[in-house]
Structure 1
Amino acid sequence: MSSAPLLSQEHRERYALVTQERTFNAHSIGNDTVMTRIRHKSLACSPGCAVEATLQYIDGKWKGVILYHLLQGTLRFNEIRKRLPNITQRMLTTQLRELEHDGFVLRTVYPEVPPKVEYSLTERGRTLEPVIMALKKWGDENTEFGQAPLP
């Protein structure tokens, strides 16, 4: 059974002309290597660009999990750390800053001694709830915790 090609010749030629930009260079942090991430300047690069663009916002080992916990309400920094015992303080700070920069998380600092900082989802962050919950549902149905993933 033959299927039609995903892209017409015209679209393949148009997508081939789109340039990409490097957002950071590969470097090592401890034993982890951070690889170069390519971000498209335009979403007209290919049919999968919208998926790629979405994944760029929630990429990283911890962003999806942080968003999941913030769906339940406002949390302080140490409350998030308690829920994610394997994350380092530096990594949590980095991930929260990126989520804040992308408009998904609101950081509220209260002028107290010691400083009180709370994190909550913005309206834009709340729009990711169906995505995060779909990932959770898929994980619940397709993984067995403590065992190797299903083939």
Structure 2
Amino acid sequence: MRSASGAKPSRGRADPAHEPMLATMELIGQRWMLRVLWELEPGCLGFLELRRRMGNCSSSMLSTRLQHLQIAGLITKNPDKTYELTAAGTELGAAMQSVWEWSRRWSETVTTPEHDAE
């Protein structure tokens, strides 16, 4: 895989600010980030409903994740205090669709410790 400049992307510890893919992976790789985006995919949610759907994610962690996603331009907070995906967040969701489809197929074929216990 080559970048637009023709150079092979670095696989080392490059500065994420200079590597968009690394910056993206660092952002969405943080615990709860993808889950927030997943929960907001169908539409707007208020903090309490989002918190309820997030299971054991603490309120302070959710608040922090929401702030980071707003700064990244992936979600917005509406005047009615609901959160929703921005165009960029929706675009990321579309890009992740193939990963979600793959994960469904993979989960049907993989043997995990949880499956072994049953």
> TM-score under structure 2 normalisation?
0.73
- For residues 128 and 82 of structure 1, what CA distance do their matches in structure 2 show? 24
The answer to whether the aligner puts 1:81 opposite 2:46 as a matched pair is: no
The answer to whether the aligner puts 1:143 opposite 2:113 as a matched pair is: no
The answer to whether the aligner puts 1:134 opposite 2:104 as a matched pair is: no
Contact 2:45 2:83 in 1 (8 A): yes
Moved more, 134-143 or 86-95: 134-143
Q: Secondary structure at the match of 1:127?
A: helix
Deviation of 1:42 after TM superposition, in Å, equals 1.9
Contact 1:70 1:120 in 2 (8 A): yes
After superposition, the CA RMSD in angstroms is 3.0
The answer to whether the aligner puts 1:57 opposite 2:27 as a matched pair is: yes
The one-letter amino acid paired with 1:142 is W
Contact 1:99 1:105 in 2 (8 A): yes
Q: Which has the higher contact order (CA 8 A, sep 6+)?
A: 2
Deviation of 1:133 after TM superposition, in Å, equals 2.1
Stretches of structure 1 lacking an aligned partner (at least 5 in a row): 1-5, 21-38, 44-49, 111-116
Q: What is the CA deviation profile of residues 57-103 of structure 1, one whole-angstrom value per residue up to 9, with x for unaligned ones?
A: 31212111111111100010111111111111011101110000000
**4+ long deviations beyond 4 Å:** none
Answer 1 or 2: which has greater strand percent: 1
- For residues 93 and 102 of structure 2, what CA distance do their matches in structure 1 show? 14
**C-alpha distance 73-41 of structure 1, shift in aligned 2 (>3 A):** closer
Answer 1 or 2: which has greater helix percent: 2
The one-letter amino acid paired with 1:131 is A
> TM-score under structure 1 normalisation?
0.59
**C-alpha distance 108-51 of structure 1, shift in aligned 2 (>3 A):** same
**C-alpha distance 118-42 of structure 1, shift in aligned 2 (>3 A):** same
Stretches of structure 2 lacking an aligned partner (at least 5 in a row): none
Q: How many residues align?
A: 106
The answer to whether the aligner puts 1:42 opposite 2:18 as a matched pair is: yes
Contact 1:104 1:123 in 2 (8 A): yes
Larger Rg: 1
